[in-house]
């Protein structure tokens, strides 16, 4: 369960650690964009990557064996790729 964006999102999630450098998240090999955005300590800096996607697209660009889950209340619609 992915709960780091303030919402419960179904699916499994495994993330690389990251830092503030722009290339600290590995490329996904897909259109999904890996970004250092996951904060594990409230008030702290992001420490883990997440693959962002557009849940409204037919092919949201997630890596194989994952799907795009909508993150509620974010505009424009944003999703996170998680394993089913």
In the prediction, which pLDDT does 8 show?
67
In the prediction, which pLDDT does 1 show?
40
Which residues have C-beta within 8 Å of that of residue 41, sequence separation ≥ 6? 47
Residue 55 structure tokens: 């849940």
In the prediction, which pLDDT does 18 show?
92
In the prediction, which pLDDT does 7 show?
57
The model's pLDDT over 9-26, given as tens digits with 9 standing for 90+, comes to: 777 777 889 987 878 998
CA distance linking residue 17 with residue 56, whole number of Å: 28
pTM for the full predicted model? 0.77
Task: Name the stretches of the chain with pLDDT < 70.
Answer: 1-8
SS3 content of the chain, % helix, strand, coil (to 5): 0, 30, 70
């Amino acid at each position: 369960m992915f709960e780091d964006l303030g919402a419960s999102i179904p699916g499994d999630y495994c993330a690389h650690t990251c830092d503030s450098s722009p290339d600290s998240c590995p490329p996904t090999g897909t259109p999904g964009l890996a970004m250092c955005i996951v904060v594990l300590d409230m008030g702290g800096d992001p420490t883990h990557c997440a693959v962002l996607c557009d849940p409204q697209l037919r092919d949201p660009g997630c890596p194989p064996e994952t799907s795009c889950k909508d993150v509620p209340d974010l505009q424009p619609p944003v999703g996170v790729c998680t394993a089913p």
